[in-house]
Structure 1
């Protein structure tokens, strides 16, 4: 597979190494059969840039965990923060089809069923990051949005696609 995503982006410093990440997020590298199974269960085609990133490490905590916003959220006036990115799989608690994965957030927390929840936030379930397929359909290229449960599931646009979201993450200190 030709690597067409993340050109001129240093992925070697992207993931944070910690035991929590290993225990609750990081799945084995996804092969085509796992990806197909997860997509079928969720009902959405995962973006190529998401799959490519999960083939470098399949989920986990990140070193740059904040994304600037043009409007305030329940987290901050000028940004959102993520705890970790869910891997493609079913084994870890924080994987797409895991015990607290995307469907869990829809079924148990009442999040809108308009896509795939791919990243949790430090609020422990009170806001999430969504691959939003509302404008493109289940086979299209989703936008990345922040969903704020504390504010009646308010949707805040973050990025036109997943790679743009990843490239836009910044260190917390830069935004404090």
Structure 2
């Protein structure tokens, strides 16, 4: 499997993931993290994405038909989900439906979250985009589906020029 992350060091990439780090993060967050997310973090513990746009069938804070997500946050370090999610939810008044996992180009007014509102803390969360209206909108039924749906932002380059 090729990595979805850009090569090279990044402040978004944490140390090699351990089972203890996962356990502590789940305890801190109060949820079971999706297996596909944890498996990806074992490959690389967070980082900047190669393909960083996600198509939607609704207008976002970003564009008419997609949003950007630059980073998938890792686990167990200063920029990790366990250290940042609750603070970001509070700071930006995001809905308390789960865990902030993505950093968008606007870095705050909008975000990407694991949404546990339907599944419960031990279930499989959906992935939701949260725009400036603070309404979580399901964009993928799983983290794996979300990662597989990311496309190069060049796909939308011409459309964004006038926005």
Q: TM-score of the superposition, structure 1-length normalised?
A: 0.85
Task: Confirm whether residue 154 of structure 1 aligns to residue 135 of structure 2.
Answer: yes
Cα distance in 2, alignment partners of residues 82 and 44 from structure 1:
23
Cα distance in 2, alignment partners of residues 88 and 108 from structure 1:
20
Task: Confirm whether residue 173 of structure 1 aligns to residue 143 of structure 2.
Answer: no
Any idea what SS the aligned residue of 2:82 has? coil
What runs of 5+ residues in structure 2 fail to find an aligned partner? Answer: 158-163
1:108 to 82, 86, 91: 91
Cα distance in 2, alignment partners of residues 40 and 71 from structure 1:
34
**In the alignment, what sits opposite 2:51?**
64
1:124 to 107, 111, 117: 107
How big is the alpha-carbon RMSD for the aligned residues of Structure 1 and Structure 2?
Answer: 1.2
Q: How many residues align?
A: 157
What runs of 5+ residues in structure 1 fail to find an aligned partner? Answer: 1-9
Any idea what SS the aligned residue of 2:81 has? coil
**In the alignment, what sits opposite 1:85?**
72
Any idea what SS the aligned residue of 2:17 has? coil
**In the alignment, what sits opposite 1:17?**
7
Q: TM-score of the superposition, structure 2-length normalised?
A: 0.92
Any idea what SS the aligned residue of 2:54 has? strand
Cα distance in 1, alignment partners of residues 17 and 43 from structure 2:
10
**In the alignment, what sits opposite 2:116?**
133
Superposed CA offset, 1:75-109 (max 9, x none): 010101102010011x23x21123xx111112222
Q: Please state how far the C-alpha of 1:56 moved relative to its aligned partner.
A: 0.7
1:95 to 61, 65, 80: 80
| Partners of 2:95 and 2:136 within 8 A in 1 | no
